[in-house]
Structures are given as C-alpha cells and as structure tokens.
A and B are shown apart, each in its own frame.
Chain A
Amino acid sequence: MTIVTISRDDLPIGSVTSRTVGWWSMIAAIITEASLFAYLLFAYYYFAVQRRGEMWPAEMPTFKLAAPNTVILLVSSVAVWFGERGGHEGVRWKQTAGMGIGFVLGVIFVTIQVFEWKAKSFSLNSGPYGSIFFVVTGFHMGHVVLGLIMLLPLTLWSALGYFGPGRDAPISIGAIYWHFVDAVWLVVFFSLYITPYLGLRHG
C-alpha cells in the first residue's frame, strides 16, 4: 500500500496569478454576457429574415460617427492593455496612465454614441427596427458603462499603488472585461451597420 504524497513547494497566496478565482469568474461572466448578445442579435437576424424587407428604416446606416467611434473604442483597449503591462512590470505611472486613458476614451465613446442615437430618424418605439437598434446598442452601452465603472476605481487604485508585480490580478480582470466589451462592439457594429450593405435588407 502506497499513500500518495503531495508536493510541498511554495504556493503563491491570494489573487496573484491570472488564473485565480476572480479571473475564472470573469471568464464565466464573459461567456454568459456573450450569450446575451448572441440572443440579442438572434432577435435582429430573426426579424431580418422573417419580415423580409418590411422592418428597415428608409435610410441606410451611416458611418459618420460610428466608424470613428469604433476606432476610439479599439484604441481604448490598447490603452488598457498598456496599463495592464505596466501592472506586470510594476511601473505605477504606466499602469495608472493606461487605465486612465482607457477610461477617458470610454467616456468619449459613450458621448459620441449619444449623439449617434440622437441623429437617428427612428426611435425606440417607432417600429421593430428602432426597437432592436436601440435595445442592442443600449445593452452595449450598459456594458460600456459597467466597464467604465470598473476602470475608474482601477485607475484610482493604481494611482494609490495598490497593485504591482504579483498583486495585479484585479487589473487583468478589469482589462479582460474591457476587451470583451470592445469585441462585442465589433460584432454589433458588423450586424447593425455592415450587414445592410451586404444584402440583408433584401432578405
């Protein structure tokens, strides 16, 4: 009879690696949030297929605000990535600046998005397209705002020097959520702005 032995190496304590409880739960949360957007876009494509040409507004989607806004959101992700690297390296200014710039760009995205909403000829209750457009982009806005609510304290905590090498899991967890919000926007953008040009309008 041999009793198994267990290795007794040094074990890190707490939320240290990017594989800890918080990181895992954020991945699980992202899976469920991604599913939410899949169902939202299912509704969009379902209407597009079921109602043939009927549901669309008169004009095609315009890229005047949406395209630059997409770029802004992408750049914010780069900034947050830069901040996360700062956390790994233990460079506090880099970390704070990255998170802070990500936050500011996120706020700019939200502001421009409000103007984008105001410029639309349809409204939430003018017809199915309006309902879908505003609920889908509204859900995305909700997630951006949630991401901003994460980035703001993360910036503050970074500035206070809470995090550094070996103690930067919250930064990575916040960052991966922000990248997710970004990735979802690309899918939403493709669905709402590009597919009409690819012939979805004609069923």
Chain B
Amino acid sequence: MTATEYDRAPRVAVRDYASPLAEKLNALWETKPGVIGWLSSVDHKEIGLRYIVTSFIFLIVGGIEALIFRLQITQPNETLLTPEQYNELFTMHGATMILWYAFPILTGFSVFLQPLVIGTRDMAMPRLNAFTYWLFLFSGIYLYVGFAIGEAPNDGWFNYVPYASRPFNPGLNIDFYALSNILLGISTTLGSLNFVVTLLHMRAPGMSINRLPILSWGTLTISVGNLFAMPSVTLAFFLLWMDRQFATHFYRPPTGQPLLWQHLFWMWGHPWVYVIVLPAISMVSEALPILCRRPLVGYTAVALATVLTMVLGFGVWLHHMFATGLPGLALSFFSAVSILIVIPSAVSAFAWLGTIWTGRPVFNTAFLFFAGFIVVFVIGGVSGFMTGSVPVDWQLTDTYFVVAHIHYVLIGWNLFPVMGASYFWFPKMFGKLLDERLGRWNFWFMFVGFNVGFFPMHISGLLGMPRRIYTFPEGMGLDTINLITTIGSYVFAVGFLLFIINVVLSLRHGQDAGPNPWDAATLEWTTPSPPPPYNFVVLPTLATRTPLWETRLRESPYHSDLGKGFPLDHGKEALATTTLDAQPEAILRMPEDSLMPLLLALALTALFAGLIVKLWWLVIASLVVGLIFQLIWLWPRAKLAERRP
C-alpha cells in the first residue's frame, strides 16, 4: 500500500463489476468532475473520443472546402472563386483531410480501443497521450488561424518548391503550413512512441505476440513506421521554413536543390499512405470476421502482409517523382517495388473474401461498409498499380486520374473502414447501438455518392484534364463529367450528414447495447459498455486469440481465464508483461490526472506562435516556461515508484 513497496506478489480476485473492489478501482481511476478535471483527464477512452470527435470536425471542415471548390469546377468558365481562393481551398482541403483527419481519426480509434483489446488499463504513458491530443488540436487551430487571417497554404498539400519558396510565395501562407506541420509531427511521433511501448509492453498475461489481435498489428506496424518516417517530413518543413525566413540554400535555385524537397517529402509521404490506411484496414480485418461469425482467414498471413506492406512502403517514394527526370535505373527499381507491393495488399483482400465466403455474414450497416470498402479497395489498388508503371505514370501524372486514385485510396481505404468501425464500436463507446435503418441510408448514399463522384475523375484524367486548375474552357468534353462529379460529391456529403444525424439520435434513443452486442471474441467485449474508467476489474489471462469463442472453436485444450485475475488495486496500477510471451514482468504505477499535458502543449504552441511572427521574447519565454513544466512533469515521485521514498 505504501510507497516504500519494492515488490509484491499480486493477489488474485474474482471478476465482478459490482463489487467493492470495482468501487475502489473506480474511485482511483475516475476523472474528477468539473472543468479542471475535464482538462486534466488522462483516461485513454476520454482522449480517444476527443481525438475521434476532433478528427470528424476536421473531416467536415475539409469536406465543406471541397464542396465549395467543386462548385467552381462544375461547369466551364465559372467565376465563383478567384484562382487564389481556389488554390487555398484545395490546399486546405488536402492538408486537412490527409494530415488532420485521416491519421488522427485512426489514432482516436487506437487510443480508445488498444488498451481494451490488449487487456490493460491505459496507455503506457497516459499523460503523454493527453499531451499528443492537445498538440494535435492546437496544430490544427494554428493552421486554421492562418486560413482565418488570409494566409492559408496555397501550393497544394505536397507543397512543391520552388513555388513554395519565398520569391514566389512571399506571404506567411507556407510558413503557417510548415510550422503547423512541425507541431503536428511532434504529436504524431510521440503518439506512435506511446503505442509501440503500450503494445509491446502492456498486453494481458498470455497474449503472446502471435495472439495479438489483428487490430493491434495495424497500429503497431504503423507506429514503428512513423518512428522512421516522421522525421523526414518534419525536417523537410523545417528546412523550408529556414529557406524562407533565414535565406538558407536547401531548396531554392540556383544554388539549392528543389528536388531535395520532393525526396524528403515523399520519403515520408509514401509510408504515410500506409500509415493512414493500415490501421483502418486492420479494423476491417478485426471486425469483419466477427460479422461473418468465424475467425479471420489467414491471421498470420494478414499480420505479416501488414508488416511487409509497411516495409515495402519505404521503398516506393520515387514513384511520386517519375516525371522529374530521374535516372532510368532508379525508375525501374521503384516501379518494380511499387508493383510488388500489390502482393501483400492482395493477401488481405483474399483473406477478407475467404472470410466472407466461408462465413455466415450478418448483413448489417457495419458489414455493408466493410464490403463496400473491399470493392473500392480493389479499384483504388488497381489504379495505383497502373500508375506504378513508369510509362503509364508519365501519361497520367498530374491529371484527374491521380486525383481519382488518391480519393479511392484515402476515402475508400480510410473513411469506409472508419464508418464501418464507427458502427461496430459505437456500442462499446457509448453503450447504445446506432440505428440500422438510418445506417442503410447512410451507407448507400455514401457508397453511391462516392462512386458517382470519384469514378468519373478517372475518365476526365484519361481525357487529359490536369489537376489543380481553377477552371476549364467549354467544348473539351469535360462539361458533363465535371457536373456528374460535383453531384456525386454532394450525394456523398448527404450520406455523411445522415451519419451525424444517426449518432445524435442514437445517443438519445438508441437501443441499449449490453457488453457484447455482436457476440464478438476479443477482450474489449468482456467489459461493460461503456467501459468503466479502470477498464478491467481484474486483468484477464489469455490462452488463445479468441478468448470469448473458446468453447465453440475448441482450437486449444487451454482456456483463457476471464473470471479471475490480478486486481492491482494498491493505487493506480497496471501490469507490464514481456514483449514476446507476455509474462508478467512488473507492476506499473500509473500517473494521476494532470494539467501539465495541456499546459506544456500550450507553451509549445506559444513558442511556435512566436516563431511565425518572429517575436523572440515570446519564443524564449515559452521555452523557459515549457522547461519548467517538463521539470514538474518528470520530477521523480515516490508515489509512482520513480524514486526512493
């Protein structure tokens, strides 16, 4: 009980969510009421939901931007927007969707779900988790402050130099983009680090690495990938900012190397594509089999394919630069890898098809989204395979074909799984089921709207329509196609609106879900819905990958122990286990709620605000204040067993 404890043989208790033990744990883990309590919460479920809500808001904002500029290119010679407004809108749309929606939404699901699916009580570093959320939020606000004062980025989301260099883009537009990306990059890196440690170190006893749920394989893989990839883009933006504000010679001609930007950007950019799809498709691999009433076909192959896709993803960045005059040998190599990467992707696709084929599917809304996803997954994969070939890419680069491809990949591979996952895990998050009837309308509007909106872009691209033009003349055969595209995008938007309506209505009137509405197999479904602050009243011990289906599957003579386990109730505690075999290794003392994550994120944001206006006293002041906050944060506490009493 005291801080002087150096070791302890944990006692074993019975699983009962109505016991005095549960009450005790609740008092230990609960977030305090009130504004201060809310701002200082480090509960991963609370933070995960904040991530999800914030990301959906960014999705809506980015979507509205797209709906506005689609009106400008619905018909020829439209004058709704000026070219500059058009540039800013499509850039903000791309940046918001790819950077402030697509990854943070997956982080949100992961932050909420991962500790639950691996049977632990929180992320490894709960305060860091809160910090990464605040920093993500502030980086988005930072970007949109630029937008609000008329200094939005306007060079496309991949921001090529020399157009993004100061002589051609003298305002602060690009600086807002660069600095907000560095802030976001810090958040992403620290978040990934937290996932790596959590997933390798805090799994429930018995959850050896080959029993890691497929959901966690996606998050683990991309988190490791991020550790290697993120510094590239953060550095690229930093060097760009140095070039623009301190006259260094990295990118700007004649002395600099404009292509260095493209290398650094895409060395991150292509792994990033996998970063924002692998966790999403892992959600499909996790949830789809449950709706097909059988385990996933080819678990091992899918897990290895996930890792392999990430690894190969680091070797394909040059295919974004085929048209820049690189040596033939480089083109051949990167073209080959780009085509090779189809193989691990196909492994997953066949695993899903096999799962549906040999299962007994439940045709609910979540299933529809997953099935729809498989269709667009294949279309997006094939168009990617096509542009992986150098001569085809030379023909199609910078046309609407590429725009179509990126939307099939990012909406198809990210948003569709996210929608399905929302229907699937909403009951766990809120204890209510989303409405199925409205859900069908939601799916069909989105699926039809998506294909009507984005498939014709392949054709306009093949007809030679370049991307990023703010208007086009009459009589080029592009009028009808663009009209259809705009109509489709609006239908798609209506579909998403139905989702929001569904969420609002179901939160009030939804059917009670109970702990396990889908009769699913994994640990998160053993807790009440929504889960209590401490997640598990006693920590489960695993014997198989599907602890709730053991009596049915009879795959192993051993059964998981879900009925009793360590309560770890001597303060806020969690269990550390070994990396491969998940044997108990240590009892971890978890930190209390704290305002430090918020304050430190504010200090760091103030520092970046100082950088953009070159207010050096503000930079130094926030640096000093930030260091003090860090010192308070990290000061060894006997209560956390970080120091001797």
Chain A positions near chain B (C-beta within 8 angstroms): 1-17, 19-21, 24-25, 28-29, 31-33, 35-36, 38-40, 42-43, 46-47, 50-51, 55, 124-125, 127-128, 130-132, 135, 149, 153, 157, 161-164, 166-167, 169-170
Contact = CB atoms under 8 A, between A and B. Distances in A.
Contact of A124 (B201, B248, B541, B640): B248
Closest 4 CB pairs of A and B: A14-B641, A36-B231, A131-B248, A162-B643
A16 B6 contact: yes
A42 B268 CA distance: 13
Nearest to B563: A3
Contacts of B193: 25, 28-29, 32
A166 B267 contact: no
Given A4-B558, A28-B197, A20 B583 contact: no
Given A4-B560, A21-B197, A131-B249, A39 B232 contact: yes
A13 B6 contact: yes
B247 A11 contact: no
Nearest to A150: B634
Contacts of B256: 128
Interface stretch (B96-104, B353-361, B585-593): B585-593
A162 B644 CA distance: 5
B636 A157 contact: yes
Given A28-B196, A162-B636, A3 B558 contact: yes
A131 B242 contact: yes
A124 B246 contact: yes
B246 A157 contact: no
Nearest to A1: B559
B333 interface: no
B442 to A, nearest CB: 39
Given A24-B201, A32-B228, A131-B248, 9 more contacts: A2-B559, A4-B558, A6-B205, A6-B584, A11-B585, A12-B6, A12-B7, A32-B231, A51-B257
B477 interface: no
Given A131-B250, A153-B631, A4 B644 contact: no
A21 B636 contact: no
B586 A11 contact: yes
A16 to B, nearest CB: 6
11 contacts: A2-B558, A13-B5, A13-B586, A15-B589, A16-B6, A47-B257, A50-B257, A125-B246, A128-B255, A130-B249, A153-B635
B529 interface: no
B59 interface: no
A152 B641 CA distance: 21
A135 B239 contact: yes
Nearest to A161: B644
B235 A39 contact: yes
B6 A24 contact: no
Nearest to A130: B249
Contacts of A21: 124-125, 197, 201, 576, 588
B587 A14 contact: yes
Interface stretch (B8-16, B420-428, B492-500): B8-16
A46 B263 contact: yes
Contacts of A46: 257, 260, 263
B193 to A, nearest CB: 4
A15 B192 CA distance: 21
Contacts, number: 190
Given A12-B587, A43-B260, A35 B197 contact: no
Interface in B438-480: none
Contacts of A124: 246, 248
A129 to B, nearest CB: 8
A14 B234 CA distance: 34
A4 B189 contact: no
A76 to B, nearest CB: 21
B227 A28 contact: yes
B561 A125 contact: no
A13 B641 contact: yes
Contacts of A28: 192-193, 196-197, 227
Contacts of A55: 255
A32 B227 contact: yes
Interface in B569-604: 575-576, 583-589
Contacts of B575: 11
A127 B643 contact: no
Contacts of A14: 586-589, 640-642
Given A7-B584, A39-B264, A170-B636, A149 B249 contact: no
Contact of B541 (A4, A24, A149): A4
Contacts of A1: 551, 557, 559
Nearest to A16: B586
Contacts of A4: 206, 541-543, 558-561
A6 B11 CA distance: 11
Nearest to B557: A2
A161 to B, nearest CB: 7
Select the residue from B189, B227, B260, B631 with max chain A CB neighbours within 10 A. Answer: B227
A25 B246 contact: no
A39 B644 CA distance: 41
A21 B263 CA distance: 34
